[in-house]
Amino acid sequence: MSNLKDVLVPDIGNFDSVDVIEILVKAGDTIAKDDSLITVESDKASMDIPAPFAGVVKEVKIKVGDKIAQGHLLLTLEAVEMAVPAAAAVLASSATPVLTVEAPKVAIPEPSRPAAEPPQKIQPAHQPLPVGESAVVNGGTLSHASPSVRKFARELGVNLALVKGSAAKNRILESDVQAFVKNELAKPRSENMGAGLGSLATLPMPVIDFSQFGDIETKPLSRIKKISGANLHRNWVTAPHVTQFDEADITDLEEFRKSMMKDAEKRGVKLTLLAFLIKASVNALKAYPNFNSSLAPDGDSLILKNYFNIGFACDTPDGLVVPVVKDVQSKDVLAIAADLGELSTKARERKLKIEEMQGGCFTISSLGGIGGTMFTPIINCPEVAILGVSRSSMQPVYNAESKEFEPRLILPMSLSYDHRVVDGADGARFTSHMRMMLSDVRRLLL
Ligand code: CAO
């Protein structure tokens, strides 16, 4: 008895005829039950027709472009198993067409049913698709991709939504997926782009020969600049930054600092404003502990720190470094100022040790000695906030009691924080706390 069986088109729903758009097997192929044989397409959907039983393809009876309907002869298959009667194997087969339905502006599921379910009618869908198995929304239009192409894309980790289909009605072919992968691999890679950027990575920078516009010279970046540049870029794109601006009245503080400078100098210490800012920031970190934290690597929790190490941005001829003043909570302003002097001298003489730049909880970047009114500092991740300080200046401030404007020394502050960790309200509370601490020197010394 011959094992040669006809394979006919099963029930494909309410369609008089569908177009054959892809033939996935050829004579001589050995196929397993449920392997896709052909892909057909109506004006609404594409679907694969699977093999009703395992066997060897003897002859394909259709070609791409044919119109076929239920009962149409697809191919002859030499069955491997004899248990299933031919007619039943074809028309009452457990094999189920696998569908992709096109519908405007909705994600379309790709039903993947157990083999025992009855053949699936084509239906519009309304539930979201599993990642990587989509009817493909591509540039605002839906594209088709057969299950075999989707399987191929999944194997390569390709998101089909990013692939442009070259066949009719934007249908994505295997060759489109291959071309996409080739194109992606050919793109210039940027080291240190930071994790998780994925398709948000920026466009490649155009390569321009500037000498066509005028005289140029090329100067290599210092090692520090290269490292800090990559870190700054990662921090900028990883942490959603918000910058809160505020001002503190430091008239009394400056008066006090100046009155203490001589004493400090006798002890070999330059008593700078930065020392007071560091002291005040620890007080604010204690009041708002979320600022003294880091996001856990899995993003599920906050790691709160019970120590208070404050980094400060230090401008050196080689670039920016951030030494860290350790255990600020147990130091007075003079001791902090002494650490600042020692660390910034070491930084400029390139003598900082690695451990002197580690363990920071929060950073202060002071440009006050240079100038400027405001700036937006970049968070020194995985810290969650950084305080920028600009140049203080005399401002007329209205005194509600005397009903007069008084000249006061006002310090501009810019607090950038990671909005994944800190809410806007707490950002404003933190700078208000800093303002309160800096405008009343007695609080600082407590
Ligand atoms: N407003 C007005 N004047 C200020 C001031 C402020 N906010 N802060 C400092 N000054 C004055 C000081 O009083 C001092 O004046 P005198 O020489 O008359 O005493 C002068 O500016 C220089 O101060 P300083 O440099 O000695 O001390 P500092 O504490 O201000 O700064 C340091 C120390 C290490 C922070 C600084 O040298 C530095 O490197 N700053 C640059 C930081 C930087 O590059 N940040 C950008 C990083 S990108 O985010």
Is this model's pTM higher than 0.85 or not? Answer: no
Q: Which sequence positions are flagged as catalytic?
A: 419
Separation of CA 319 and ligand 1 centre (Å): 16
Which residues contact residue 385 at a Cβ distance below 8 angstroms, ignoring those fewer than 6 apart?
Answer: 291, 362, 379, 415, 416, 417, 418, 422, 430
Least confident of 32-36, 54-58, 82-86, 419-423: 82-86
Which residues contact residue 350 at a Cβ distance below 8 angstroms, ignoring those fewer than 6 apart?
Answer: 316, 318
More confident residue, 259 or 116: 259
The reported pLDDT for the residue numbered 219 is 94
| Residue of minimum CA distance from atom 9 in ligand 1 | 369
Q: How far is CA 327 from CA 170, 330, 369, 409, 438, in A?
A: 62, 6, 25, 30, 20
Segment 275-294, tens digit of pLDDT: 999 999 999 999 999 999 99
| Domains, in order of start, for the chain | 3-92 (2.40.50.100), 96-238 (no CATH), 240-444 (3.30.559.10)
Separation of CA 156 and ligand 1 centre (Å): 53
Average pLDDT, the chain: 82
Q: Which residues line ligand 1 (CB under 6 A)?
A: 272-274, 312-315, 320, 344, 365-369, 377, 389, 391-392, 411
Nearest-angstrom CA–CA distance, 38 and 74 = 9
> 193 is written with which tokens?
């782009």
Mapped onto helix, strand or coil, the DSSP state of residue 46 is strand
More confident residue, 216 or 181: 216
Nearest-angstrom CA–CA distance, 327 and 325 = 7
| Strand 30-31, strand 18-23: pairing | unpaired
Question: Is the CB of residue 272 less than 8 Å from the CB of residue 336?
Answer: no
Question: Is the CB of residue 266 less than 8 Å from the CB of residue 260?
Answer: no
Instruction: List the one residue out of 408, 422, 407, 415 whose CA is nearest residue 390.
Output: 415
Question: Is the CB of residue 426 less than 8 Å from the CB of residue 289?
Answer: no
Instruction: List the one residue out of 3, 2, 57 whose CA is nearest residue 28.
Output: 57
How many other CB atoms are there within 10 angstroms of residue 25's CB atom?
18
Nearest-angstrom CA–CA distance, 377 and 235 = 11
Least confident of 82-96, 309-323, 352-366, 388-402: 82-96
Mutational pocket test of ligand 1: of 254, 272, 342, the residue with most ligand atoms within 8 Å of the beta carbon = 272
Least confident of 90-104, 162-176, 360-374, 397-411: 90-104
Q: 366 has which bridge partners? A: 389
The reported pLDDT for the residue numbered 148 is 79
pLDDT band at 15 (very low <50, low <70, confident <90, very high): confident
Token pair 């449920």: residue: 34
Q: 316 has which bridge partners? A: 319
Nearest atom (ligand 1) to Cα of 316:
39
Mapped onto helix, strand or coil, the DSSP state of residue 370 is coil
> 290 is written with which tokens?
């979320």
Segment 234-286, tens digit of pLDDT: 999 999 999 999 999 999 999 999 999 999 999 999 999 999 999 999 999 99
Mutational pocket test of ligand 1: of 231, 232, 257, 273, the residue with most ligand atoms within 8 Å of the beta carbon = 273
| Strand 45-50, strand 362-366: pairing | unpaired
